[in-house]
Amino acid sequence: MTSATTEATTEATTEKIASSTSPKTVTSDKRFKVLNATMKRHHYQQDALIEVLHQAQESFGFLELEVLEFVARGLKLPLSRVYGVATFYHLFSLKPNGKHTCVICMGTACYVKGSDKILTELEQKLGIKVGQTTADGEVSLMSARCLGACGIAPAVVFDGEVAGKQDENDVLATVKTWQSLT
């Protein structure tokens, strides 16, 4: 199978899995393709659930409902089972506490283009560490490992929207708009 054919197949499978969740977000967000590739690598076996959730958390920073639904459909498991596993293990976080979420990609492509500087700057300016939420409850700062958007590194996700070619100033400017909205 050529790489173009493989990519087309992965895309088709991602869309199929997405079909009863939220097609628009799922098919336009490359992180779901990364997640689907992980499930495919495990031959969509149900006992790969924890590893798949790991990948999901690394890609998304946390496990929102849409992601859990995508995994449930991909592995043909009841959502209740996927949700149960995700809530049982402390290493998985279902939702950041903040009103807004900023996820910095720390994958290799983004890291070499300075995502570590973005993260350090943000931690300093917000006075929190990655994984924490500001005292005013406005911003949760998370990290992920490869959002599937390496071509636009460094990539950052603001409230679910992926933004590319970011630097410290861009990210701070966006985060400040959230804080000034209070």
Tokens of 154: 């460094």
| Nearest-angstrom CA–CA distance, 78 and 25 | 21
Encoded one letter per residue, x for contact with ligand FES by CB under 6 A and - for no contact, window 92-131 reads -------------x-xxxx---------------------
Q: Which is nearer to ligand FES, 61 or 107 (CB)?
A: 107
Least Å from the CB of residue 109 to ligand FES: 4
Q: Which is nearer to ligand FES, 116 or 138 (CB)?
A: 116
Q: Does 171 bind ligand FES (CB under 6 A)?
A: no
- Break the chain down into helix, strand, coil percent, rounded to 5: 55, 10, 35
Query: Stretches 58-66, 67-75, 129-137, 143-151: which one binds ligand FES (CB under 6 A)?
Result: 143-151
Q: Does 147 bind ligand FES (CB under 6 A)?
A: yes
| Nearest-angstrom CA–CA distance, 155 and 152 | 6
108-127 as b/e, with b when 16 or more CB fall inside 10 Å? Answer: ebbbebebeebbebbeeebe
Amino acid identity of residue 45, one-letter, is Q
What are the residues whose beta carbons fall under 8 Å from the beta carbon of 5, sequence distance 6 or more?
none
Q: Does 35 bind ligand FES (CB under 6 A)?
A: no
Least Å from the CB of residue 166 to ligand FES: 11
Q: Residues interacting with ligand FES, by CB under 6 A?
A: 105, 107-110, 146-147, 149-150, 153, 155
